[in-house]
Amino acid sequence: MCETKEELCCKVVIGQKFPEVEVKTTHGIIKLPDYYVEKGKWFVLFSHPADFTPVCTTEFVGFQKRYDQFRELNCELIGLSIDQVFSHIKWIEWIKDKLGVEIEFPIIADDMGKLAEKLGMISPYKGTNTVRAVFIVDDKGIIRAIIYYPQEIGRNLDEIVRAVKALQTSDKYGVATPANWPNNELIGDKVIIPPASNIKEKKQREEACKNGEIECYDWWFCYKSLE
């Protein structure tokens, strides 16, 4: 924990390699991020405040129902809370028995809170349980996105799927994605070409727009279809 509330608790940032750590999970001991990087996979690590709680249960069911979507993106899921392994096991058994949903991804038992503290998942303003943090990590072990929600608000799980897809699209095509992509109010499912960084590129963008190769609202706001 931070010594004072005024200190910055989050010790990791976007663009940094995910901390190397060995964790206890419902699937056994896992070494992060190597467990996924060695398989060439992305992963989403998400924390929840506690087992056997209503909002967390709805989230785990939601993550599991979207697990195939994540796997289609070459992305795995791994949960975390400061509960012990036996609690995780009993909870996922309850979810299967009562709700008919089998949780297939591992859950970290960070019962000492060390990883949660390292990742800034425990807020000095919000008690001793983890907040609803999300870390999207790429296949090289680099943290690409970090999202935090308070304990009282369940996550938008479709947004996390969207974020993984958008990051992979950006990497593959060297583009940016607009707000609410692929359903943006201005350009639909098209993607944004990075702004020109010099006068020569500016003129090239203007020429490409005139030739119908790309579309532009202005030279600094150009976009195109991926098709």
The catalytic residue among 56, 75, 216, 222 is 56
Contacts of 138 (CB under 8 A, 6+ apart): 42, 144, 167, 171
Q: Is 10 a catalytic residue?
A: no
* Strand duo 75-81 + 107-109: pairing: parallel
Give the end-to-end CA distance of the chain in Å, rounded to a whole number.
Answer: 49
Question: Which residues are known catalytic residues?
Answer: 56
